[in-house]
Structure 1
Amino acid sequence: MTERTAHAATDLLRVRGLDVTYRRSRLRGGDVHAVRGVDLTMGRGETVGLVGESGSGKSTIGSAVLGLVPATGGGIEFDGADITHSTRTDRRMLARRMQVVFQDPYGSMNPAHTVGDTLAESLRYNLGLPAEEIRERVLRALDDVGLPPGAAHRYPAAFSGGQRQRIAIARALVMEPDFVVCDEAVSALDLSVQAQVLNLLSRLKHTRGLSYLFISHDLAVVRHLSDTIVVLYAGRVVERGPAALVADRPSHPYTRALLAAAPVPDPIAQRRRQAERRLATTATTATTATTASTAAGRAVTGCAFAPRCPFAQETCRSDRPELVEHDGVAVACHRRDEIGAGTALPLQRSA
């Protein structure tokens, strides 16, 4: 068995050249290319974090993997099987192994159903289990997320936001999956509750052998749980690598901007991050006119982040950079070697 074959045998999820386009009429602005040529690999028991701003394509990737939106190009494999264009019947079978935790647990629960009924619904529909086994799975899932057995007889309105998210996690656990998509699963929670839920997810990863596709706009949150981080901008991967390297020594200017946007308790470090954000804003303003005129004349072929990048040069605006690996981290940036990794943004924008 070759090394490549051995790695493929241990991969749980493989995404290759994924494209997702939302079709719209010209009156509504034309088609939206949400994801373009994304490659992603996840091993068993691994957490891959997808991070980026709203509109970067991260949630669309999760939805494509789950079959909630169709892929318009590329392929998706789960445990060696091609699931790119799975039928509804196939997806029902996959639900036993693939689950999701959304941002708003209350919005995805029927307020007229008890928590026990909500957790039991998927077991009845997908597995057809007997009542006693359903009850055992429900109580075990509630216990795993730190809720008492009595929670099964209460309604969603009786719980706090953090408790509802635990219920949403329990709903995923009752199916005893291998793989869970966490789509902004902690972004609606305050910091203390957020930390508790992240610690819960981390514990469940080890006790249940789960693999997570963890989606968030917050690089610091993704860093806490992920083994690998994939940074997305305008539907493309701009940086990918081990979580510690990407979060602690980011190479791409966009990844640095995400890091600078996260507040830190150190006042000196916070002032430095605020200065970096002001610089990025200045760079955006300075290039708006150039970008508008270029887009009006022809399609933009360069780096999508160039209008906001303080390092951008003419090459960045004319040629799209390829994703190239440097010391274990893949980066799509023409100037990566010049600006290095983890360095502060310059005081003046490069010409």
Structure 2
Amino acid sequence: MTDAALLQVRGLDVTYRRSRLRGGDVDAVRGVDLTVGRGETVGLVGESGSGKSTIGSAVLGLVPATGGRVAFDGADITQRTRADRRLLARRMQVVFQDPYGSMNPAHTVEDILAEALRYNLGLPAQEIRERVLRALDDVGLPPGAARRYPASFSGGQRQRIAIARALVMEPEFLVCDEAVSALDLSVQAQVLNLLARLKRTRGLSYLFISHDLSVVRYLSDTIVVLYAGRVVERGPAARVAETPQHPYTRALLAAAPVPDPVVQRRRRAERRLAPASIPTAGRSSEGCAFASRCPFAQDACRTRVPDLVDRDGVAVACRRRDEIDALAGAAIGAARTDRDA
């Protein structure tokens, strides 16, 4: 990883316009800042509805930003035209959760991978075929896969084809939007290892989006935690995933099973502290959005949005960040006492 920023997002707002009959406008993303360096993986993690996929779509130009700025390699791409986006496609690509839905079942894999090259680059047939075969080899598929149809592949193989489709453009930057969430654990690990290897061999940068903190931890250098459209914690992956400071990040960690029974019991106890509701649309701008679920919230938490304060390289939006460990330990201890009484 280098210090040069490839992607910079500053003050990003995205609002989905809806009629009053449908509940009014939805502020999906509010004031989000993030930076992806060259050769870096930044993981976006949060529940469904947290705004993480909307951020990826705004970066790619699939949804319009209503505020803020998105810059790629120093150039503002927030309001680029369709023609400009076609040029950007040579450098920015995406891998979605369900690759089969975007593959024409009547086309061979070679046709599917070659389409973007013909449309965006106009390369000669021989060079297109060389790029297709090289991309298939990079994702661990044999040359014969080019002649087969999508239906003849497993889910994990189709995800490899989706990655190959992104690679044929020889991009610098990939948005991976829940790229492994539909796969079983063994195949998920294989695809994560593939993405890690491609990062090294091709010098790729990733914006890696997932609801699973453990998956994000495996691949990411930096983790950004989102709740109700806002960043609540941001910092080095190991520190955020292993010693989270925001109550919401702690809840995400507590939801992940671990083989150690002692750790698992503590996580289960901490998980019981907060109600398991999900973020709702049309969020209030007053107070911390997580306050209604947070077992440590005070009146002040409900009246003012907390600032995202960086301390020792980890930024947290919580008034009580310094007290959370002690409060959680006391709450778990009290719950055990009541249960044993």
Aligned counterpart, 2:305:
320
1:122 aligned onto 2:116 = yes
Structure 1 residues 81, 270: closer, same or farther in 2, change over 3 A? same
Normalized per residue, which structure has more helix?
A: 1
Separation in structure 2 between the aligned mates of residue 187 and residue 168 of structure 1, nearest angstrom: 14
Q: In structure 1, give the amino acid aligned to 2:323.
A: E
Higher RCO (CA-CA < 8 Å; seq separation 6+): 2
1:243 aligned to which of 224, 237, 242: 237
Pairs within 5 Å for 1:203-282: 203-281=197-275
User: What secondary structure sits across from 1:336 in the alignment?
Assistant: coil
Deviation at 1:299? 4.9
Deviates more, 1:332-341 or 1:322-331: 332-341
1:57 aligned to which of 47, 51, 73: 51
1:23 aligned to which of 9, 17, 26: 17
Q: Tell me the TM-score normalized by structure 2.
A: 0.93
Separation in structure 2 between the aligned mates of residue 342 and residue 226 of structure 1, nearest angstrom: 29
User: What secondary structure sits across from 2:79 in the alignment?
Assistant: coil
Deviation at 1:270? 1.9
Structure 1 residues 25, 170: closer, same or farther in 2, change over 3 A? same
8 Å CA contact 1:49, 1:222 repeated in 2: yes
Structure 1 runs (4+) greater than 4 angstroms displaced:
340-345
Separation in structure 2 between the aligned mates of residue 96 and residue 132 of structure 1, nearest angstrom: 19
User: What secondary structure sits across from 2:42 in the alignment?
Assistant: strand
Pairs within 5 Å for 1:26-175: 26-175=20-169
8 Å CA contact 1:249, 1:342 repeated in 2: no
Aligned counterpart, 1:336:
321
2:191 aligned to which of 197, 202, 206: 197
Q: In structure 2, give the amino acid aligned to 1:247.
A: A
Identity rate of aligned residues, in percent? 82
8 Å CA contact 1:251, 1:342 repeated in 2: no
RMSD (Å), alpha carbons:
1.9
Separation in structure 2 between the aligned mates of residue 346 and residue 307 of structure 1, nearest angstrom: 17
Aligned counterpart, 1:187:
181
Deviation at 1:278? 1.6
Gap runs ≥5 in structure 1: 1-5, 285-294
Deviation at 1:338? 1.9
Q: In structure 1, give the amino acid aligned to 2:178.
A: E
8 Å CA contact 2:91, 2:173 repeated in 1: yes
Pairs within 5 Å for 1:286-325: 299=284, 301-325=286-310
Deviations 1:117-174 (A, max 9, x none): 0000000000000000000000000000000000000000100010000000000000
Structure 1 residues 77, 341: closer, same or farther in 2, change over 3 A? farther
Q: Tell me the TM-score normalized by structure 1.
A: 0.91
Gap runs ≥5 in structure 2: 336-341
Deviation at 1:320? 1.0
8 Å CA contact 1:51, 1:216 repeated in 2: yes
Q: In structure 1, give the amino acid aligned to 2:151.
A: A
8 Å CA contact 2:247, 2:324 repeated in 1: no
User: What secondary structure sits across from 1:307 in the alignment?
Assistant: coil
Q: In structure 1, give the amino acid aligned to 2:12.
A: L
Separation in structure 1 between the aligned mates of residue 304 and residue 330 of structure 2, nearest angstrom: 22
